[in-house]
Amino acid sequence: MSNLPLYAAPASGSARRAAESGKTYTIADLAREFGVSLRTLRFYEDRGLLSPVRMGTRRLYGESDRARLALILKGKQLGFTLTEIRGLLEREAKGEGAAAASLRLSPQQIDDQIAHLEAQQEEIERALAELRAQRKAMAC
Amino acid sequence: MSNLPLYAAPASGSARRAAESGKTYTIADLAREFGVSLRTLRFYEDRGLLSPVRMGTRRLYGESDRARLALILKGKQLGFTLTEIRGLLEREAKGEGAAAASLRLSPQQIDDQIAHLEAQQEEIERALAELRAQRKAMAC
DNA sequence: TTGCTCCTCACGTCACGTGAGGTGGC
DNA sequence: TTGCTCCTCACGTCACGTGAGGTGGC
């Protein structure tokens, strides 16, 4: 897919970081792979969650950017806000050179998030109970 | 609580609608009673959900406004957006003179909303499952 | 020249929160 | 004069969607 002659001059100039592991991705590549919009990827960059290198004006994402995106989306799926996710990613980056495969949540963070989601779940449960009751009352 | 001498001139001038059933409420009265902010009540008015009469610049809510607010908050609790709620209230108002005690949802609307909430519930359930699994893996 | 991909503003959406600065009547 | 309640802008938050208008290289 991304068969642009980009590695013509590897590790040269501003393409250093993109060439870290050879493979690079365009914004459309990542958007397709992860099922998000281009706007979303630009927005995450604006929020400081991603920082692809530039090829002229074009964005070039490397393997570490791709790994970070996977973590961001996992964080979202777990119900964290982008601000929270940025904090988690920063701790991640500080810990080690290589990108971690998952967000390293502390027991406290996990418990807090579980409590948060359980509260939401109860609200939804109450709404569902009322709707189902109304539905039954109409069935007669 | 709202012991202002407002009924000094009942059903006169622009206070007609407020005097519909005698009782009137200030914005603070309703905010306290329903546990919402003043900003929220002004926002609902801006969105066309409420339309209190004015006493000078001050807002005066009548019984029907209070009843509408109760319906709005019930709609929110059931997971409807304000736009959807406005639609429901408009149908409500068209049907009869007196305010209904509950939103008259059609079977279709109920089923749609149930499906909507169940989808949300599943997302939360998946997140909770993963968090609980991570939590267990740490406990050892 | 046309098409395609990508770009940067910048306003819109949702449901409000949060000041700033001002008013009316006790 | 001080306090209290209420008011109107109007910008901020959250996570983007949605054009508008323009660029680069096949």
B111 vs A79: CB contact, 8 Å cut-off? no
Per-residue pLDDT of chain B (140 residues; tens, 9 = 90+): 333 332 333 333 334 444 455 899 999 999 999 999 999 999 999 999 999 999 999 999 999 999 999 999 999 999 999 999 999 998 877 765 555 678 899 999 999 999 999 999 999 999 999 999 999 998 76
Residue B54 phi, psi dihedral angles, 5° rounding = -110, 145
Name the nucleotide with the smallest C1'–CA separation from A58. Answer: C6
Instruction: List, run by run, the mean pLDDT of 10-residue segments along chain A (140 residues).
Output: 31 40 91 97 97 96 96 97 95 66 90 96 97 89
Q: Residue A88: its chain B contacts at CB < 8 A? A: none
Q: Which two tokens stand for residue A139?
A: 């069935």
Task: Answer whether any strand C atom is within 7 A of the Cβ of B83.
Answer: yes
pLDDT of residue B134: 95
φ, ψ dihedrals at A5, nearest 5°: -75, 55
B75 CA, D2 C1': separation in Å? Answer: 43
The H or E element that residue B129 is part of is: helix B107-139
Question: What does the pLDDT look like over B13-49, one tens digit per residue?
Answer: 334 444 455 899 999 999 999 999 999 999 999 999 9
Is the distance from CB of A24 to CB of A62 less than 8 angstroms?
yes
pTM: 0.84
What pLDDT is attached to residue B96?
Answer: 58
Question: What is the distance between the alpha carbons of residues A104 and A91, in angstroms, rounded to a whole number?
Answer: 9
Query: Which chain B residues touch A77 with a CB distance below 8 Å?
Result: 123, 126-127, 130
Range 110-129, chain A: CB under 7 Å to any strand C atom: none
Q: Report how far Cα A75 is from the mean position of its chain's Cα atoms.
A: 7
**Contact criterion met (CB < 8 Å) for A78 and B121:** no
Q: Which one of A78, A127, A132 has the shortest CB-CB distance to B79?
A: A127
